[in-house]
Structure 1
Amino acid sequence: MRKVFLGVLVVLGAGSGASAQVLDLETCLRMADTANLSIVNSRLDVAVNKSQVSSYLTARYPKITATGDYKYNAIIPGQLLPAEIFGGAPGTYQAVKFGVPYVFSNTVQLQQILFNPQVNYGISALKIQQELVEIQQRITERDSKTQVASTFFNLQAVNKQIDFVDSNLVNIERLIGNMEAMEKQKMVVQTEVDKLRINRLNSVNAKQTLLANKDQLEMLLKILIGIPEDQKITLASDDLVEKSILVDGNTINYPELELVGAQIRMNEAEKKGNNMAYLPSLSFYAGYNYTYNMKPEDKVRQGIPSAFLGIRLDWTLFDGMEKYYKQKVTKVTHMKLENQEELLNQQLHMQTENAKRQIEIQVNSLGIAQEQLKLSQSVYKQTELRYNEGTVDSNDLVKASTDLQQAQTNVVLAYVQLRQAELEYLKNIGNVK
């Protein structure tokens, strides 16, 4: 008996204020859009990448630096010069000291990149990286909302199952009351009553298990949509699980394919960047320097200004074949990405078709489960009537009750599995909203 009620838990998986907040699926998805931490973090990733792009763009702007320097020459530096400069003998040298003890120097320098192929490649790569992050954000939102919807449907199913158990308990309590009255009149033996009491205990135990699972699902749903742990919630309608969620099943969007496509474009940009690395970089620079020299004992104090400007060319003529091997790696990676794109395309189409077929299967299963429930309800009513008339024993009544509860469980399972199949289809086509 206990296994009948536990069967639904395999599919359902895992999910206190004065008044409970009433939630429907649309509200849950809307709350998750702003409060789900996975979704929030994915949007922060997009913002971080945008800031990185802006930061990298500053490489094209001029850079201005200022430096100040104080130097005390404890020993004045010197240099050997030909002695004949000072009238000495040819072929001899004389040490000459240059400078003064105290030197103050200030420099302001400007540098502007005129052409740098790596900067241009970096900007292009960061723009593609922005696409990658935005696509990943959409995937995260889709997966998070799918989890919210799945938890919502599972919670509804548990609520329905609890309602069924409560209804069955009412019937069992009524029967036990009648049987106890008949037992006092010596019309039935105690064993007949005990069989119904065992049936009631099984139902009570099943309800406790369902209530524990309900608490887990509610806790999970609160985490997913950003509701405080101590706040009570209730679902707006227990009938929503019986309604199809295939509002728009024709718009197909595969973000995983878009992600691989962006990775291929990134690979192509990397290839161009490797080729551009063969080119030189060109920059302009200019500066102004003012040096103040002091020798107090000789009363020497003199400032010397200087200014300069120039163009700098940097060109790596040989790098030990580094760029050559980078290109080989890039080429192989490109081939792998193209194969991955083709394989992913095939897999996604297969998953979509399988999800469509699964919906059809679950629709048929639901029809069968509903028919079984009608028959089980009819059999139970007839068995209960015949039991009261004394034409069948308690074994037949308990079996009819067990079959009814199994049929109730099967209907709930069928509804949940159909909604999950629809949800999986919408997830596959990127249309969970």
Structure 2
Amino acid sequence: MKKHIVILILSVLSVSAKAQERLSLKQCIDYGLKHHRSTLVYRNNQEAARYQSKEALAAYLPNVNLNGSIDDNLIVQQSVIPAGIFGPTDLKVAFTKKFNSNVVAQVDQTIFDQSLITGLKANKVAQQQAQLNGEQNDETIIYNISNAYYQIFVYRQQLTLLQSNRETYQQQLNISKLQLEKGVAMESDVNKIQVNYNNTSSQILAAESDLELAQNQLKNAMGYSLTDSLQIQNFELDEPAADQTQISFRDFASFNAANRIDYRLAEVNIALLDIDQARIRATSLPKLTAYARYGYIGFGDRLGESISGFSDYSAIGIKLAIPIFDGFKRNSQYNQARIKQVNARENLKLDQENFHLEYDNARTKLIKAQSSLDMDKRNIGLAESVFKSTDLQYQKGVTDLTDWLNSQYSLKEAQSNYLNSLYNFLIAKIDLEKANGTLKTFHTSL
């Protein structure tokens, strides 16, 4: 029985080791949103904003203080009773003793302070600001992961094409070497093919290095350990339909800057500035505070007497503070806040125009990138057809090696253009999502 259990465990471990899950783009983003360290930072900021609101509320709650003191009057202060009251000469009298002890507890309660009431309105707005900052960080994570993921996809495509080209050069190199041995080919022809083979091998090494760097970049964007292995899926390129260009033009009218978190953060900033203006204005209003005090006081020529001879006292009262003149300090603060608020509104209008321009440019780039990708994809087909025809003619001796190498070079150039167009198309797609403020929608739709 134990033997069967051990075999079962080893089998499970073997299968799990060989079949590491390959992550899709959506799974990579899900992992990044959960594990990237910046997510914890912004979550902590939201928690700090909640505590900050509690701190602001505390100013309108009862404030209780307990204070105690013991004074050792090294030289007891004396007061003078003028002559004629208790005698014909001035009389010096001490109204305290060497040691004084005092313990007092006091409760203060704000009854009315309009500036505090106005300031409390900022608590909800500040929490909204912290939440939007967190959402903006999520969008940054989504964008960075998508960018790195697409780079890996393109580098894999590049490696596949380069390896295919190297195999072609290898096959032709083998044939040319045999022809050289038989005396039907020149050594210079073999060397030309060898040079192209070596160049392609170098390009493969560079592409492998780029792929490794892109994988590390993806791990970093995900908050994934650089030392752990990460396997990702290949995905089918979702190329737009032929009529999608017209759809893009129609959808342009529906662009809404309010979808951008940058725009909503600017609106929140304006709301905070509005509240700050009202708070400063409210500091000109009277403030009413109630208090209750209870304490013990003791006097004595020795320390023990001042402590053992306590007598209690208490008081309740109301304090009214009416601001009269502060040297125009409040007026200056209010005007500064007013100017900041006006500038913030003007900057929001500028941002709205810039966001619209950014979306328009991103949409145009996507349309052009789509056209370039379609053209370069068709061009690869033409280049492959030309190379196959030239290769067949070369094998039959109808054409020479120069034409064969030229057609192979044209194919490589078409492949390079296609890879550039492919990367530009993928990045243009994610840039359009970013400009439209729909990166989270893009993530959920994967």
The normalised TM-score by structure 2 is: 0.86
By how many angstroms is 1:229 displaced?
Answer: 1.1
Match for residue 273 of structure 2?
267
Please state if 1:353 is matched with 2:349.
no
TM-superposition CA deviations, 1:63-99 (whole Å, max 9, x none): 111122222333333211134332x13xx42101223
Match for residue 7 of structure 1?
none
Once the two structures are overlaid, the 10-residue window that deviates more, 52-61 or 300-309, is 300-309
Match for residue 14 of structure 2?
none
Give the Cα separation in 1 of the matches to 2:343 and 2:194. Answer: 66
For residue 240 of structure 1, the aligned residue among 228, 236, 244 is 236
The letter of the residue matching 1:388 is: Q
TM alignment of 1:70-109, pairs within 5 A: 70-86=70-86, 88-89=87-88, 92-109=89-106
For residue 146 of structure 1, the aligned residue among 143, 147, 172 is 143
The runs of 5 or more residues in structure 1 that have no matched partner are 1-16
For residue 416 of structure 1, the aligned residue among 415, 423, 429 is 423
Please state if 1:326 is matched with 2:333.
yes
TM-superposition CA deviations, 1:162-218 (whole Å, max 9, x none): 011111111111111111111110110111111110001110111111111111111
RMSD over equivalenced CA pairs, Å: 2.5
Do the aligned residues in 1 keep the contact of 2:116 with 2:279 (CA within 8 Å)? no
The runs of 5 or more residues in structure 2 that have no matched partner are 1-16, 441-446
By how many angstroms is 1:286 displaced?
Answer: 1.2
Give the Cα separation in 1 of the matches to 2:73 and 2:328. Answer: 47
Give the Cα separation in 2 of the matches to 1:242 and 1:173. Answer: 34
Match for residue 40 of structure 2?
40
Q: Secondary structure at the match of 1:22?
A: coil
Do the aligned residues in 1 keep the contact of 2:99 with 2:303 (CA within 8 Å)? no
Do the aligned residues in 2 keep the contact of 1:241 with 1:416 (CA within 8 Å)? no
Do the aligned residues in 2 keep the contact of 1:19 with 1:232 (CA within 8 Å)? no
Q: Secondary structure at the match of 2:412?
A: helix
% identical equivalent positions: 19
By how many angstroms is 1:221 displaced?
Answer: 0.6
By how many angstroms is 1:354 displaced?
Answer: 2.4
Q: Secondary structure at the match of 1:175?
A: helix
Do the aligned residues in 2 keep the contact of 1:108 with 1:289 (CA within 8 Å)? yes
Match for residue 54 of structure 2?
54
For residue 374 of structure 1, the aligned residue among 381, 384, 387 is 381
- CA 1:414/1:299 → structure 2, altered by over 3 Å: closer, same or farther? closer
By how many angstroms is 1:244 displaced?
Answer: 6.2
Please state if 1:183 is matched with 2:180.
yes
The letter of the residue matching 1:61 is: L
Q: Secondary structure at the match of 1:399?
A: helix
Please state if 1:309 is matched with 2:290.
no
Match for residue 31 of structure 1?
31
The letter of the residue matching 1:70 is: I
Give the Cα separation in 2 of the matches to 1:345 and 1:295. Answer: 77
Do the aligned residues in 2 keep the contact of 1:289 with 1:306 (CA within 8 Å)? yes
Give the Cα separation in 1 of the matches to 2:292 and 2:305. Answer: 33
Do the aligned residues in 1 keep the contact of 2:29 with 2:141 (CA within 8 Å)? no
Give the Cα separation in 2 of the matches to 1:298 and 1:396. Answer: 114
TM-superposition CA deviations, 1:260-291 (whole Å, max 9, x none): 21122112111111210101221111111112
Give the Cα separation in 2 of the matches to 1:33 and 1:251. Answer: 26
The letter of the residue matching 2:179 is: M
Do the aligned residues in 2 keep the contact of 1:66 with 1:107 (CA within 8 Å)? yes
Do the aligned residues in 1 keep the contact of 2:108 with 2:290 (CA within 8 Å)? yes
Give the Cα separation in 2 of the matches to 1:319 and 1:308. Answer: 31
The letter of the residue matching 2:236 is: L
Q: Secondary structure at the match of 2:106?
A: strand
The normalised TM-score by structure 1 is: 0.89
The letter of the residue matching 2:320 is: L
Give the Cα separation in 2 of the matches to 1:306 and 1:316. Answer: 31
- CA 1:381/1:37 → structure 2, altered by over 3 Å: closer, same or farther? same
By how many angstroms is 1:19 displaced?
Answer: 7.3
The letter of the residue matching 1:123 is: L
Give the Cα separation in 1 of the matches to 2:381 and 2:214. Answer: 29
By how many angstroms is 1:359 displaced?
Answer: 1.9
Q: Secondary structure at the match of 2:290?
A: strand
Give the Cα separation in 2 of the matches to 1:101 and 1:350. Answer: 80
Q: Secondary structure at the match of 1:284?
A: strand
Q: Secondary structure at the match of 1:235?
A: coil
Once the two structures are overlaid, the 10-residue window that deviates more, 170-179 or 125-134, is 125-134
TM alignment of 1:285-304, pairs within 5 A: 285-295=291-301, 302-304=309-311
For residue 363 of structure 1, the aligned residue among 349, 365, 370 is 370
Match for residue 203 of structure 2?
206
Q: Secondary structure at the match of 1:132?
A: helix
Give the Cα separation in 2 of the matches to 1:18 and 1:280. Answer: 76
TM-superposition CA deviations, 1:136-162 (whole Å, max 9, x none): 222221122111101100111001100
The letter of the residue matching 1:208 is: L
Q: Secondary structure at the match of 2:320?
A: strand
The letter of the residue matching 1:289 is: G
Once the two structures are overlaid, the 10-residue window that deviates more, 133-142 or 27-36, is 133-142
By how many angstroms is 1:421 displaced?
Answer: 1.2
- CA 1:76/1:339 → structure 2, altered by over 3 Å: closer, same or farther? closer
Give the Cα separation in 2 of the matches to 1:155 and 1:428. Answer: 23
Match for residue 406 of structure 1?
413
TM-superposition CA deviations, 1:99-144 (whole Å, max 9, x none): 3333322111111111222322322223322222222222221122
Match for residue 13 of structure 2?
none
Give the Cα separation in 2 of the matches to 1:233 and 1:208. Answer: 20
